[in-house]
Structure formats: C-alpha cells, structure tokens
Chains A and B, each alone.
Chain A
Amino acid sequence: MTTALARFTGNITGRYPAGDLLAIRLPIALLLCLPLLAPQLLPSSRLLSLAITAAIYVIVANGLHIIFSYTGQLSLAHTTLWGLGAYTAALLIDHYSWPTIALIPSAGLVAAAGAVAIGIPAFRTAGFSFAIITFAFAEIMRLVANNWTGLTQGSIGITVFAAPSSLGSISFDTFDNLPNFYYLTLGFAYVSILGVVLIRQSRLGKTFVAIRENQELARSVGINVYAHKLTAFALSGFFAGVAGVFFVYHQKHIEPGPISPFSAFFTIQFLLMILIGGRSSMLGPVLGALVVVFGPELVNTVFSDALTPARTQIVFGSLLALSVLTAPNGIAGQTREGFRAVVTTLRHSRARGRSWPVSALLALGSGFVPWAVPDRTLDDREREAS
C-alpha cells in the first residue's frame, strides 16, 4: 500500500505501466464489482437474460484474447470450438445426465482437444494461411454437425429438456431462478478474467506475447514456438468449451445454423469485440462483449424503441465502424492513452510554472486530444532520473 502510494505521488511518469497505479486500479476494481448488482439494477428479466449472454460472451472472448491478442494468431475457428463445447454438454446431458461439476471440465477439455487437433496441422503455417486453415476446420465441424444426424440430429439440432438446474441445494433454474443462473455464469466470467490476468502475467503468457512480437527472435533464444502456439490455442479452446456449457443451459438448444456459434457471423462478432474493447488490455474483451450485447439496447433506448431491429443494427454498426476508426486501440487502449496524456500534461504544465487550475484544465483537455501531449524523449527521462 505504501509503495503503491509512493508510486502514485512521486513516480507518475508517462511510461509507468498505468495498470500499476492505484488511481486506475481502484476504479477498475469498483467497476468490476458493478455486475454483481445487475439483478437489482436491471428492470426486466429480458435485460438480465442479456446480461447472462454478455457473461457467456466474456468467457468466449477471453479465450479468443489468448490466441488472437497475446499470441497473435488469427483463429477463425474459435466460436466453432464454443459450439463444440455446447454440443459436448448437450450430448452428455441428453445421454448421461451428467451434473454441472462434470460437464464444465469435460466440455472445456473436448474443445481444448479440438483446438489441438486443428492446431497440429494449422500451426505449420502462419498469418493468413493459418486463418484460412482454421476457417476450413470450422466449416468441416459445421458440416459434420449438420450431417452426422445419428449423433447431432443434423440441422434440427439438440434441444436440452433436462439441463441441470441446481448446484447442491442452490437452484439456478432459468425460469424461476434466473438471478441465480446469472450469478453462476457471472462467477465463471470472473474466473475467466482472472485466468486471462494470471496467464498474461505468467512466464507462459509473456512467451506468447514474445512470439507475437517477433517469432524468429523467439526461436533464436530457444523458445519452441510451435508448442507454445498449441498451448495457447488449447487454453483458448478450453475457455470456449466452458462457455459452451452455459450457452446450452441458457438457450436449451444447440444447432449448426446461421446464427449459432457455428456461423461466420459469430466468428466476426467476437473478433470485433476484441478490437472494440482493445487488444492490448486484459479487460478489452470484457468491454467489447458489453458493447456488443448492450449497444443495440442503448441505441433502441436513445431512439425510444422507434426503430425496427434491422435499422437498430444499421445504426449500431455505423457506431462500431466509427469507434474502430477513432479509437484504433479500442476502448481500453484509448482510455489508457487518455489517462497517460492527462498525467503527462499535468506534470509538464506544473514544471513550466503554470498554476494548478490552469494545469488541470490543460490536462483534462489533453485527455481527449491525445496528440496535443508533448512527446517524451530520452533526455526527459534522464533529467528525471538524475
């Protein structure tokens, strides 16, 4: 605590990792607690249902974050792995009535195994070839789900009539105890966030990033790039598989149709979530998932529900395009840049002898106009160090 305070008061340099500052960690921690109040705050069970969707999306997007943002591999099979987890759960419930506690690791592991099976040939290539190969595997999985009618009932899909609805004595039936189901899903969303944070800070995660930054250099110092990519893909698949269980609990149905996890629509949507939220932040996927789920609702509210669904999508889509254009680092990245700009401008302005109120005004302004911040040079740093 004292060191954190010392950093806050004495050592705010523009280059100091913003995440280490108490000033930014505390608000983030408080914001992360906000979803706990959703059942009280959201006026309808329809909105709570959307919140559940958002929580599921957070788990899926966090998985994609590991392979796409950290390891730098554009996987187009990620949501299909989510579907694979959903099918695994649906089949295990239908045929063997497995309990939740067994379903979650099983679906996760099946999806992780799927990822490894795709990764073994796909990671022989890189870049666009990798993307195309994963897309091909996603298509194959969709075709199998569509045509292996004996197992999957083809395009009709599997409807789960008896999904587990309690954990011990706590019931989370989606009809009568929707808030409980929300908390269960939210709990796993939190676990997935924690998982991403732990992976990012571990040696494994740092190695993933090194591979993204310079694969040849990583090889030259002794990193087995192929094995690490497979590991990253398996981890990301595990997240997707776990999310598949909640998808089945929530929807009671899985099919390989045009708006299912097997569709290209979802593949794109999840990549978009990460771009909107921010590739460079651990919370990017969370922000992206929230925007994608609640954004259309917000648009509807603004227009007082006067728009048809298609028109809502047009407005929302334009807003997304605008956000990607104006905030290329995503919401999280842009917020961080803004925060740095405020801190840097404040220090520079004070150093030049301007008064506090003027400096504060300038700093706030620079937060919204980042290019107005003076560039920091190495000379600056040396002066600060001495």
Chain B
Amino acid sequence: MTAILSVERLAKSFSGVRALEGVDVQVREGEVLGLVGPNGSGKTTLFNCVTGFARATSGRVSWQGRDITRLAPDQIARLGVVRTFQQKMVFPNTSVRANLAIAWGAGARSANGASLFRDCDDLLRFLGLTPMASFPAHDIPFGFARKLGLGLALAAGPKLLLLDEPAAGLNEDESAELGELIGKITGLGVTVWIIEHDMQLVMSISDRIVVLHAGRKIAEGQPGDVAANRDVISVYLGEKFARSS
C-alpha cells in the first residue's frame, strides 16, 4: 500500500515549549491508523499541524505528493483531508439537516465532485440521525451531537478523515456503535487516522498504531506489537491497558 499522507520531521514549538519534535508518520491508503499517547504528548497538535489549524515550526506534510504544510485549513479540507474535533463541534442554532447541508456545499465534494453519499438525506440515514433532522443541533443529546460532528466531516467529502477522540464522553454501547460506524466509513474507501484514549476501541479497529510520547514517536506497528512494546507499556499503556483488558 502506498502512503497518501506523509509527515516528515514535523516539529512544533509554542513559545519555547516543544510540543512535537521531528515526527515522521506515513498514512497508507485505505487503512485505519491509530494515534495514541498520554495527555500532552502532542497528538492533537500533530492533527492541527496536518490540517492547517496550527503552523508547523519545521518539517513537511505532503498529501498525495503535494506539499500542504503551509496551506490554510479550508484549502486542506477541500483537498480531501478533513478533521473532527475533541469538543462537541456543531453549528448550534441550525437544524441537523442544515448543518450537514453547509458542509455538503463547502468541502472537497464541491471541489472535485467526489461524493461518498447521494445526498444529505442519505448521509442522515447512514448516521442514524434521520428522526432528528429538523431539530436544532444544540438540542440533540450528546451522543448524537458527536455523530453529527462526524457527519459534518463526512459531508465535506473526505479521502482522509482525522478523528480526534471521537469516543470521548461516550458510554460503552455508544463506543461500540462508533466502532461499527468507523468500520462502515472505511468500507466507503475513506482512510481513517484516529486519536483515541479508549484502548479497546483503538486496538480493535486500527490496522496500525503510532505512539507519541512527549512530542516524539516512540513506537509504530501492528496493534499487538505496539501493545507488547516495552517503551509503550512503560510510558502509557501500563496501568491503563492492564485495567481495561
């Protein structure tokens, strides 16, 4: 498999604090790549740099061979690299359907005509949000708002979807459902790069996993190998994975 996105020696400092130091990551077409690491290890910063929401101090991000390091977030999104956010991010006073319609009209779909869904109603069905299509987005329960956030990214027509802790705040059932949903999304041919603290979820859905610690990549590989890696266990998985398995 070929790499569609490659991150090379990416570094990012915030007024002297080094959040990322020379990170290399290759995202291969069609895979689910997990990104894990303790809080403050630079996961979200890495996503921010890739999607243009933060400017890398040095290094390079290329998408399908094209340098996108200095592009604006909306330009990157229109190229097909779309992210979601950790927080509940929706257009609050707009109806659920209108939320999707906005993203539908703005993203990569409009830029290159590529579409994963026939129309917004098709996407609503895919997400299971049809019954609440006409409710204002701030009025729907948290779990559904999360799905809507995911739906907004999907409406934009991504080729690569970056999910920033999509399971945060969800209960076990909702997490499992989210895992299935991500499976369906990959089935549509979308490559997924996911930050997730829910180890069970990330281990079960990822083809490969990258581990960050203090702004450096400390491991990369198949979920089983990464879970067995001694560095990884010592900095991160140790207590947490032991508890959940």
Query: For residues 208 through 234 of chain A, which have their beta carbon under 8 Å from a beta carbon of chain B?
Result: 209-210, 213-214, 216-225
Interface contact B51-A220, CB-CB below 8 Å = yes
Partner of B102, one of A221, A224, A378: A221
- Does A385 count as interface, using CB distance less than 8 angstroms? yes
Per-residue B-contact encoding for A366-381, CB less than 8 Å = 1, 0 else: 0000000000001001
Contacts of B133-188 to chain A: CB distance below 8 A = 134-136, 139-141, 152-153, 155-156
A15: CB under 8 A from chain B? Answer: yes
- B123 interface contact, C-beta 8 A: no
Encode contact with A along B52-69: 1 for CB under 8 Å, 0 otherwise: 010000000000000000
Q: B residues within 8 A CB of A213?
A: 91-94
- A217 CA to B84 CA, complexed, in Å: 8
Contact with A along B107-124 (1 / 0, CB 8 A): 110110000000000000
Q: What's the nearest-Cβ distance from chain B to residue A119, in Å?
A: 17
Interface centre among A214, A218, A221, A382 (most CB of B within 10 A): A221
Q: Does B128 contact A (CB under 8 A)?
A: no
| A45 shortest CB reach to chain B, Å | 44
A206 & B101 in contact (Cβ 8 Å cutoff): yes
Partner of B153, one of A210, A221, A381: A221
Complex CA–CA separation, A296 to B141 (angstroms): 47
From B6-14, B75-83, B204-212, B222-230, give the one contacting chain A. B75-83
**Cα of A235 to Cα of B134 in the assembled complex, Å:** 29
Assuming the contacts A213-B94, A222-B78, A225-B74, asked whether A378 and B156 have C-beta atoms less than 8 A apart, the reply is: no
Q: Which residues of B contact A207 (CB under 8 A)?
A: 102, 105-106
A225 CA to B106 CA in the complex, in Å?
11
Which residues of the other chain, B, contact A210 by a CB distance below 8 angstroms? Answer: 91, 94, 102
Contact A222 B94 (CB under 8 A): no
Assess A221 versus B155: contact at CB under 8 Å? Given A216-B53, A381-B135: yes
B160 to chain A, nearest CB (A): 13
Asked if A203 is at the interface of the complex by the 8 Å CB criterion, the answer is yes
Q: In the bound complex, how far is the Cα of B85 from the Cα of A286, in angstroms?
A: 39
Which residues of chain A are within 8 angstroms of B75 by Cβ–Cβ distance?
A: 224
A216 touches which of B89, B108, B134, B136 (Cβ 8 Å)? B89
Interface size in chain A (residues, C-beta < 8 A): 23
Say whether A222 contacts B108, CB under 8 Å: yes
A219 and B73 form a contact (CB under 8 A)? yes
B141 and A214 form a contact (CB under 8 A):
no
Within the complex, which residue of A209, A216, A224, A382 is in contact with B94, where a contact is CB–CB below 8 Å?
A209
> Which among B51, B73, B89 has the highest number of chain A CB atoms within 10 Å?
B73
A220 to chain B: which residues have CB within 8 Å? 51, 53, 73, 77, 82-85, 89, 152-153, 156
CA distance A16 to B107 in the complex (A): 29
Residues of chain B lying within 8 A (CB to CB) of residue A15: 134-136
Contact partner of A217 (CB less than 8 A), chosen from B78, B85, B108, is: B85
Q: Which residues of A contact B73 (CB under 8 A)?
A: 219-220
A214-B90 in contact given A219-B77, A220-B51, A221-B152 (Cβ < 8 Å) = yes
Q: How distant is B154 from chain A, measured CB to nearest CB, in Å?
A: 10
Could you say which residues of chain A place their CB within 8 Å of the CB of B32? none
Picked from B72, B92, B140, the residue with its CB within 8 Å of the CB of A214 is B92
A218-B101 Cα distance, complex, nearest whole Å:
12
Question: How many whole Å from A342's CB to the nearest CB in chain B?
Answer: 20
Q: Which residues of B contact A203 (CB under 8 A)?
A: 105
| B214 proximal to A (CB < 8 A) | no
- Contact present for B141 and A378 (CB under 8 Å): yes
How many angstroms between the C-alpha atoms of A378 and B132 in the bound complex?
A: 9
Check A221 against B103 for contact (C-beta < 8 Å).
yes
Q: How far apart are A302's CB and chain B's nearest CB, in angstroms? A: 37
Instruction: Indicate if the CB atoms of B74 and A206 lie closer than 8 Å.
Output: no
Determine which of A206, A214, A221, A382 lies in contact with B156 in the assembled complex, contact meaning CB atoms within 8 Å. Answer: A221
Closest to B79 in A: A222
Greatest chain B CB density within 10 A among A15, A216, A219, A382 is at A219
Which of B's residues lie within 8 Å of A, judged by CB?
51, 53, 72-75, 77-78, 82-85, 89-94, 98, 101-103, 105-108, 110-111, 131-132, 134-136, 139-141, 152-153, 155-156
* 20 contacts across the A-B interface (CB closer than 8 A): A15-B136, A16-B134, A206-B101, A207-B105, A216-B89, A217-B90, A217-B91, A218-B106, A219-B53, A220-B53, A220-B77, A220-B85, A221-B103, A221-B155, A222-B74, A224-B74, A378-B132, A378-B139, A378-B140, A381-B135
- For the complex of A and B, the 4 pairs showing the least CB-CB separation, nearest first, are A222-B77, A222-B107, A221-B103, A221-B156
